[in-house]
Amino acid sequence: MRKSKKCRSRNLTFRLLLVVAGALLLLAAFSPRANADLIAYYNFEGPDTPGFPVNLDSHAPAFFSSGNTLTVTFNSGELEEVNPGLPENRWPTDPDPNLTGLGLTHSGANSPAFFDIPLFSTEGIFQDMTLSFAINALGNGFTTANLLYSTDGGANFTVFSTQKIPESGTIIVSAAVPAIANNAPDFVLRIELTGGQSNGNNVQNIVDNIRVEGTIVPEPATVAGGLLGVLGLCWHQRRRLIGSIRFRRT
């Protein structure tokens, strides 16, 4: 008799441990991620976006895997496909071949040039972000890169970094987005190139591998749904355990 009671007690303890473990796993799944994610990534590979000589969709594997299109305020007839692309600032696990970069001509007529990254999402908001890209200078191109952010869908922008572009060679422009921009639901990042010096047909700058990295935070509704699921599971298991105990006693 004692042995039977001990067995039932052990079974009950084991089942309770399973319930707690399952609840903890679900809570972990709906908790904000601490690691840096690739939120958006423009490597200009793949089928051309209509009206442009390269693909302007995001290729981020972790988020916005498709359809998050880069907006370019540049005369599309003065943009060129450059082969191959720049090796600098490529995502380490990028599966695409590095075949394409975006060439900029007529920098004087297109100054300032804007590259807007819309980060509207119903799945989450973002924290601790970094914006970076590679740019090559071939002479008489843009001289300055400004990085800006907007928290009202692009109506107003704030500059958070200004960096010089050399006359020749390739650099990586990179800066952390200010914390004041964290958790903005109508968020847009902008790269602004200024100081264009040439109206020639030759390529003056090459842009490639635009990256937005940061922490993806689930929307409150998603977190709430996950917590309700955990509570429902615990309640369901509690009822099953109580029913099992009563059944064995009879």
> Measured in Å, how far apart are the chain's first and last C-alpha atoms?
14
Q: Report the amino acid identity of residue 181.
A: A
Residues in the chain: 250
What one-letter code names the amino acid at 202?
A: N
What's the angle, vertex CA 221, arms to CA 215 and CA 222, rounded to 5? 55
pLDDT single digits (tens) 160-208 = 999 999 999 999 999 999 999 998 888 999 999 999 999 999 999 999 9
Q: Which of 39, 90, 32, 34 is nearest to 63 (CA)?
A: 39
Query: What is the pTM for the complete model shown?
Result: 0.76
Question: Domain ranges in the chain?
Answer: 2-30+222-249, 37-218
Q: What is the pLDDT of residue 6?
A: 54
* pLDDT (0 to 100) of residue 34: 44
Q: Check residue 70 and give its pLDDT.
A: 96
CATH hierarchy code of domain 37-218: 2.60.120.200
In sequence order, what E strands does the chain have?
Answer: 37-42, 71-73, 79-82, 101-104, 113-118, 124-137, 144-150, 158-164, 169-176, 188-194, 205-218
Which residue in 175, 181, 104 sits closest to 143, CA to CA?
104
> Which positions of the chain have pLDDT values less than 50?
14, 19-20, 23-34, 221-231, 234-235, 241, 245, 247, 250
Give the pLDDT score at 40: 94
